[in-house]
Homo-oligomer: A and B are copies of this chain.
């Protein structure tokens, strides 16, 4: 996740697509394995690292960290560290992050009907 090779064909393909197609751009931004699910949990309010971890059975701490960092970088969430011991870190959607709500709900309803259709 962290390492992308700016000389690769893949990189330039993604870049070109992103520039021409907003939907491909969006897919690149929110396209991680756990990204959408994290956001969909955050839609109902801020959560701590450990709380998110519990809500995502199977995710590793490394993966959760990486995805949260990426989301933060893209200004989709904010990260607030409370100076306590043990530490408390809270994640919350920004405005543009919250705007993902309609994307998520469209995906949900499409996914539901597709699943129903296909079995």
Contact = CB atoms under 8 A, between A and B. Distances in A.
B111 A26 contact: yes
A118 B96 CA distance: 10
Main secondary structure of the interface of A (DSSP, over half): helix
Interface of A: 9-10, 12-14, 16-17, 21-27, 29, 31, 33-34, 36-37, 40, 57-59, 74-75, 96, 99-100, 102-104, 106-115, 117-118
A8 to B, nearest CB: 12
Number of chain copies forming the complex: 2
25 contacts: A12-B58, A17-B37, A22-B107, A22-B108, A22-B109, A22-B112, A23-B36, A23-B107, A24-B36, A24-B37, A25-B114, A25-B115, A26-B108, A27-B36, A74-B114, A75-B117, A75-B118, A96-B110, A96-B117, A99-B110, A99-B113, A103-B103, A103-B106, A103-B107, A106-B106
